[in-house]
Amino acid sequence: MFESLKKKFSRTSEKLEEELIEEAEAEDNLQEESGSRFSFFSFGRKTDEKKEEEVVEEEENLLPEAEEIEEVPEAEEVEEIPEVEDEEIEEEPKEEKKSRFWHRNKDKDEPAEEAEDEEIEEEPKEEKKSRFWSRNKDKDEDEEDVSADGEAKGGIFSFVREKTIQEKHVEDILFELEMELLQGDVAMEVATEVVENVKENLVGKKIKRSNDITEYTYYALKDAVEEIISIPGKSMTEMIEEKKAQGEPLVVMFVGINGTGKTTTIGKLANYYLKKGYTPVIAASDTFRAGAIEQVTYHADNVGVKIIKHQKGSDPAAVAYDAVEHARAQGKELVLIDTAGRMQTNTNLMDEMKKIKRVSNPDLVIFVGDAITGNDATEQARKFNDAIDIDGVILTKADADSKGGASLSIGYVIQKPIMFLGVGQGYDDIMEYDPEWMLNQLFSEDEEIVENEA
């Protein structure tokens, strides 16, 4: 579900990271040229593995250097040895071996003893590391705090200087994202809003540590999407309870174009609420299409709920009215009104739909859209909302929708919440929509959890 959308966000996140890392590294190289001993940035890469690699690399550089001194033990080179090492050696008994090593090399004429060489080779890794750090610490006083800070944070290293994210670092990548979202059937205003939010979030942020980059890009995207998909609204269950407290049924009317899954969804919801202990009743208000009354009767029978129906071609508003009266008389909690599919361009049928609404006075008008149709579903929702003022959306066939364009856009475009997702053809294949769940679908790294949750 929504695989392609998920990939777009993760690719963008990676690209942003790469770009920002490159920027930071470029600056870092300059520092190297101007005499800085090593790149803090290169130690701040995400994985500990990487840090280990680099530490070992630097360690290797240390040993040959020492050997060189042994071969050509000129006084000049010996003097290059940082004083701090000798000082530290005096303070720390561990460093004694090194101290002997340096002293030995200071003395040209003294022959090297094998035993001492072995000692040097066996020098414990940790000791080398500590020498490495103290060495670098000593080379650049400015870096001392940064290094100490890095160590305190468990190996996450701070930059020598803060780097500020600028628009030029992110705009090309975000433009690509915008194009990809549009191709992925995301509505124009949603694609623009996501990109603007990400930009606003990132530009001006100061990167102190390399890990900031990963965190910033991840949350910039996630927060932007969260803002888009979090449309406030009550759940249908809450509304049933509220109406029940008033001794009234919750009346829900389902609308949409042909074949989006209205009738199937009504069967699923009847089943869902029956299992929750409520008693739904269905109104067969699609009196227009051949076979529609039989189809909805079939679902009502399968699930085990009452259906109110008239003759084919009769007034659909009258059927809905009767169903509401039935529910009131019988103390049933939920009325589900099936209506005929209609194109938003068919004025007569749109007028008929308005009449059903007027007569049955539903608490909720729900637009049922087919997620696979992407932007078309969003545009239909817009038109139906203009015509009849819908209260919520159910997106069907999400199980077969890899793009996710409608799921991301539809609620934002009409500012009405998605209430359920249809996720298959069985009666149990429906789930209450939860923005948190959607965010996890799009931003969780764990493929398995995502699949299971679906």
**Residues near ligand GTP (CB under 6 A):** 256, 258-264, 286, 289, 292, 341, 396-397, 399-400, 422-425, 429
Which residue's Cβ has the minimum distance to ligand GTP?
A: 341
Q: How far apart, in whole angstroms, are the C-alpha atoms of residue 335 and residue 366? A: 13
Is 397 labelled a binding residue? yes
Partner touching 131 among Mg ion, ligand GTP, none, CB below 5 to 8 Å by kind = none
Q: How far apart, in whole angstroms, are the C-alpha atoms of residue 407 and residue 417? A: 11
Of 162, 143, 219, the closest CA to residue 23 belongs to: 162
Nearer CB in complex with ligand GTP: 287/360: 287
Cα–Cα distances (Å) from 134 to 39, 95, 127, 214, in that order, read 15, 12, 11, 29
Helix, strand or coil, per DSSP, at residue 343: coil
Q: How far apart, in whole angstroms, are the C-alpha atoms of residue 115 and residue 108? A: 18
**Helix or strand (DSSP H, E) at 438:** helix 435-443
Nearer CB in complex with ligand GTP: 166/258: 258
**What's the min distance (Å) between Cβ of 370 and ligand GTP?**
8
Q: Applying CB under 5 A, does 396 fall inside the site for Mg ion? A: no
Partner touching 259 among ligand GTP, Mg ion, none, CB below 5 to 8 Å by kind = ligand GTP
Is 338 labelled a binding residue? yes
Partner touching 117 among Mg ion, ligand GTP, none, CB below 5 to 8 Å by kind = none
Q: Applying CB under 5 A, does 339 fall inside the site for Mg ion? A: no
Q: Applying CB under 5 A, does 344 fall inside the site for Mg ion? A: no
**Burial of residue 309 (number of CB atoms within 10 Å: 0-12, 13-18, 19+):** buried
Nearer CB in complex with ligand GTP: 233/422: 422
Nearer CB in complex with Mg ion: 158/339: 339
Q: What is the amino acid identity at position 23?
A: E
**What's the min distance (Å) between Cβ of 340 and ligand GTP?**
6
Contacting range for Mg ion; rule: CB under 5 A; set: 102-110, 255-263, 328-336, 387-395: 255-263
Backbone angles phi and psi of 209, in degrees to 5: -125, 155
Q: Applying CB under 5 A, does 217 fall inside the site for Mg ion? A: no
Is 37 labelled a binding residue? no
Q: How far apart, in whole angstroms, are the C-alpha atoms of residue 422 and residue 399? A: 7
Is 259 labelled a binding residue? yes
**What's the min distance (Å) between Cβ of 200 and Mg ion?**
43
Asked whether the beta carbons of 224 and 337 are under 8 A apart, the reply is: no
**Helix or strand (DSSP H, E) at 226:** helix 210-229
**What's the min distance (Å) between Cβ of 437 and ligand GTP?**
16
Please list every residue from 98 through 117 that binds Mg ion, using CB under 5 A: none
Nearer CB in complex with ligand GTP: 185/286: 286
Partner touching 264 among Mg ion, ligand GTP, none, CB below 5 to 8 Å by kind = ligand GTP
Q: How far apart, in whole angstroms, are the C-alpha atoms of residue 65 and residue 275? A: 77
Strands, DSSP E only, in 210-323? 250-255, 280-285, 306-308
Structure tokens at 67: 């050997």
**What's the min distance (Å) between Cβ of 423 and ligand GTP?**
6
Nearer CB in complex with Mg ion: 135/262: 262
Say how many C-beta atoms besides its own lie within 10 A of residue 108's C-beta.
10
Assign 3-class secondary structure to 156-194.
Answer: CCEEEEEEECCHHHHHHHHHHHHHHHHHCCCCHHHHHHH
Nearer CB in complex with ligand GTP: 183/425: 425
Nearer CB in complex with Mg ion: 285/375: 285
Partner touching 229 among ligand GTP, Mg ion, none, CB below 5 to 8 Å by kind = none
Sign of CA dihedral 444, 448, 451, 453: negative
Is 424 labelled a binding residue? no
Is 29 labelled a binding residue? no
Is 411 labelled a binding residue? no
Partner touching 426 among Mg ion, ligand GTP, none, CB below 5 to 8 Å by kind = none
Q: What is the amino acid identity at position 317?
A: A
Q: How many degrees, rounded to 5, is the angle at CA 166 between CA 188 and CA 33?
A: 145
Partner touching 385 among Mg ion, ligand GTP, none, CB below 5 to 8 Å by kind = none
Helix, strand or coil, per DSSP, at residue 260: coil
Please list every residue from 259 through 288 that binds Mg ion, using CB under 5 A: 262-263
Partner touching 183 among Mg ion, ligand GTP, none, CB below 5 to 8 Å by kind = none
The residue whose two tokens read 């109110």 is 308
Say how many C-beta atoms besides its own lie within 10 A of residue 216's C-beta.
20
Nearer CB in complex with Mg ion: 191/255: 255
Binding site for GTP: residue ranges?
256-263, 338-342, 396-399
Binding site: residue ranges?
256-263, 338-342, 396-399
**Residues at the interface with Mg ion (CB under 5 A):** 262-263
